Structure 1
């Protein structure tokens, strides 16, 4: 039987085009460009169905603006045509100043009205002239804009994005002296990597509806003096990630976040005052997730931070060698006759290169906050501390370089399931 005859009698030929299109959609994975082309090349019928199913062609598309020749621009034009009328997601993978292929750029700009998201490379520098041209486009569907790193020019003329009615997420890396203007008030997610604390703060004060914000600052200048309106309240902010390497890291003094739940502080060895953090936490009483990375906090500082987060359920410490010590671990130890520190704590993750604690002290603390299902069912009084859902311990590096806890440690915590307590055991 010929291949054509086999296809004619094949049961899949009887499937409605709508169902076949759904099957195609399930076959599209991480290699979506190859996957979409693969299903469209099986036969003419499949090609017709695939080409007339726009959602198969709308995943993030990497566009190399500096690609030589016309082949890529022709393929790009066909791909974008198949995605119509749905929004498309574009990522510029490489940009060299003065070397952009005009044919490729024009094909992308033709569908600017349908861009759902646009991302620029962070490791390269985006030509300011291109950014200005993008700002002049109508971007009616654009919800996410990541400008990456903009090439620095001595140009103080603002770049203004005005035709972006749906923009909600915005990211930029160190725009230099060129002001970037977006409709800040409509943003719900903001990511700024900037060496100007003043620029960061001026942008923040215009973002009244933020839900998630991530800020990275490496500047050494003072924060602005803005009068009597401190702190600025962000009434909807839920997640705040702050990555600092500054001489005067008093940034939290400027902010009030009454509904904040997730706080991540990457302090890069910055000396942090407990007073600043405590004052901020008093304005953020609903924190449930607290993360410190490379923080020069003492055990007392960490105890204070946890105590001022009464609803804390998740604590993550990375490279915090000065604070994860016996003093802090003792404070977490649960006793029936004492008010526990962090009574809601369920998840603890500690990653570090150096151990500054006693194994028995850590094992005893972990075991003190664990009860089996039978123990919980038979206890007449409910424990005043939550039971662990996850404890992850990793010291000394990764793989074979990771620290191995002793058999005594394993014996103290033997009642805890391996899917709750994860650590490297000494098997010698």
Structure 2
């Protein structure tokens, strides 16, 4: 296709040199004819003539785009990497490209398949056929575009095949916008339809989504890790039983739930993290989780009589790591004085109170634990208290206080 200028009227002429079928729409102006004049005639006639000319240009633009796409596709087939590497090698490269960047807080593994598919048809065919690339799902859910996101998610899930899924759901415009009865459920409905493939899930949970999750039942054979909190981190009077029957579940993190509303396979949990929880709920959670190895409690506040305080210390034989962040005005003694932890290796406490060391010494003596690491944040520890702690705990090799 060659462009030239009419010697009579300076209008662009399109000559068909690429084999595109020539018709009257292929030229803006015939070099052997005078270009139409729009300066005379009624305004309606002028507008009609201009509209006709615009239509001709639009058709040409469309044909040029088609021709450009054909040429780009042919050019991409001549790329050295496409010519020299077999699909099996490219597949391995794609997998490495999809690995999360451990040095970055953002995980771009869910973007990589789409980026690869944009390169060329050959790469797209390979990427679309690799279920491994589609096993991670990270969605910033939008209220306005929820239906569109659900349709794209459906295609994504189809490409994932039977791969176990790692899922993360966050809100695009702030979780406080998801508190009304009109909250869209399209995305969570699509995910719930493949709950049997869930392996890890991290989600905020608007109240309108509870009904969708209630249909999961005991269809979570692969689930190993759950992180969940209500939208906008506000307590709501709803029970969370969706994850109560998951035979492989061992790691759970939840926030802003009353413990009596949370149903989990407690006896098989090895790692637990709970935020905004009372002291009596902490003790109850440790007592239920007999296989617990690592436990984190954040924003712990005083007992609220949700559960009766145990008359004798709660014994947990497997707990090795305990981290407690107290809320303002809460003291650590009501929690630690009711625990016996024979396997405790690491203890971290964030508190503004000063008389912590004596409580720690009592815990260690009662538990006979091999405590090697203590970290005290926010507390002012006197030198004599620190010396007493070091003498009472001969296994201690690392102690931090600031």
Q: With structure 2 as the length reference, what TM-score do the two structures score?
A: 0.69
1:11-410 equivalences in 2 (<5 Å): 12-28=82-98, 29=100, 30-64=107-141, 66-68=143-145, 70-94=147-171, 95=175, 96-97=178-179, 98-121=181-204, 126-131=205-210, 133-137=212-216, 138-149=219-230, 151-154=234-237, 159=241, 161-176=243-258, 179-221=261-303, 224-227=308-311, 230-245=312-327, 246-250=329-333, 251-267=335-351, 269-282=352-365, 283-318=367-402
Q: Which runs of 5+ in 2 are unaligned?
A: 1-70, 101-106
Structure 1, residues 77-106: CA drift from partner, whole Å, max 9, x if none? 222222221111222212502343232222
Higher share of residues assigned helix: 2
Q: Which runs of 4+ in 1 moved over 6 A?
A: none
Structure 1, residues 376-424: CA drift from partner, whole Å, max 9, x if none? xxxxxxxxxxxxxxxxxxxxxxxxxxxxxxxxxxxxxxxxxxxxxxxxx
Evaluate the alpha carbon distance shift between residue 158 and residue 141 of structure 1 in structure 2; reply closer, same or farther with a 3 A threshold: closer
Evaluate the alpha carbon distance shift between residue 100 and residue 81 of structure 1 in structure 2; reply closer, same or farther with a 3 A threshold: farther
Evaluate the alpha carbon distance shift between residue 208 and residue 31 of structure 1 in structure 2; reply closer, same or farther with a 3 A threshold: same
Evaluate the alpha carbon distance shift between residue 66 and residue 140 of structure 1 in structure 2; reply closer, same or farther with a 3 A threshold: farther
Structure 1, residues 285-316: CA drift from partner, whole Å, max 9, x if none? 32222211001321222222333332333333
Q: Distance in 2 between matches of 1:232 and 1:48?
A: 57
Q: Distance in 1 between matches of 2:77 and 2:162?
A: 32
Q: Distance in 2 between matches of 1:258 and 1:63?
A: 43
The answer to whether the 8 Å contact 1:53/1:82 transfers is: yes
Figure out how many residues of one structure are paired with residues of the other and give that number.
309
The answer to whether the 8 Å contact 2:390/2:396 transfers is: yes
DSSP 3-state at the match of 1:213? strand
Give the equivalent residue in structure 2 for 1:7: 77
Measure how far apart 1:67 and its partner are.
4.3
The answer to whether the 8 Å contact 2:269/2:289 transfers is: yes
Q: With structure 1 as the length reference, what TM-score do the two structures score?
A: 0.65
